[in-house]
Copies of this chain bind each other. A is one copy, B any other.
Amino acid sequence: MSAKTDKMVTVPKAVINRLPMYHRFLYQLLLEGKEKISSQELSQLMRITSSQLRQDLSYFGEFGQQGYGYRVETLYQAISGILGLEKQYTAVIVGAGNIGRAIVNYPGFSRRGLKITGIFDNNPKNIGSQVGNLTVMDVEHLADFLKKYPVQIGIVSTPVQAAQKVAYILMKSGVRGIWNFAPIMLEKNGDVVVEDIHLGDSLLTLFYRLNEKEGKN
């Protein structure tokens, strides 16, 4: 074990945000059948510095071997473990619109251990319809459903106007995390973890960067 983990140094946020990227690249390397890789080589693929890669990993332990590098398989497993991917996570989706459907239909999430157990909507047109192998339920039954079948994660993909209300129901019903797609900063209720996806913000950042470049020419 590394000195750093022994000393209980808190892991910087910036490091945590890079863990999924490491996981993604290692998964790719694994698919390609690559057995070993050095911090030098891996960091070049990721367009970061090798020292950043080594420093980041050092927060969690020692996974490589001097003079050799890292075994791709070992490092992949280690990072999977750090991220908690050996566990299964259960979730419900609220909002069976475009985003809600996209999530259900995306196979990548179940591969990573996410099991979606229910999808809810308030529109009679959607209620009862099939999304993947789930039947859309009435959001009126959300709290009851969660009482019977608790889940860890609530996915909010309703329009922004409904998002806070829905989030409160989820939090009251005991979800521990919310994955939020609505462009709103959700008020918390208890110690739930909220992870936001703000697609609009990402687009505006792209706009800014396009103009920035223009200005320099």
Contacts and interface: CB of A to CB of B under 8 A. Distances in A.
A197 interface: yes
Contacts of A33: none
A17 B24 CA distance: 23
Nearest to A28: B184
Contact of A201 (B24, B85, B200, B209): B24
B108 A98 contact: no
Contacts of A108: 183, 200
A197 B201 CA distance: 10
**Number of copies of chain A assembled together:** 2
A198 interface: yes
A152 B209 CA distance: 12
Q: Is the interface of A mostly helix, strand, loop or mixed?
A: helix
B177 A193 contact: no
A211 B84 contact: yes
A109 B202 CA distance: 11
Given A20-B200, A205-B17, A209-B177, A102 B112 contact: no
Interface residues of A, number: 55
Interface of A: 16-17, 19-21, 23-25, 45-47, 82-85, 87, 89, 97-99, 101-102, 105-106, 108-109, 112-114, 152-153, 176-177, 179, 183, 185, 191, 193, 195, 197-211, 213
19 contacts: A16-B209, A20-B201, A24-B200, A24-B201, A47-B185, A83-B204, A84-B207, A84-B211, A87-B211, A98-B98, A98-B101, A98-B102, A98-B106, A112-B200, A153-B206, A176-B210, A193-B210, A195-B209, A197-B199
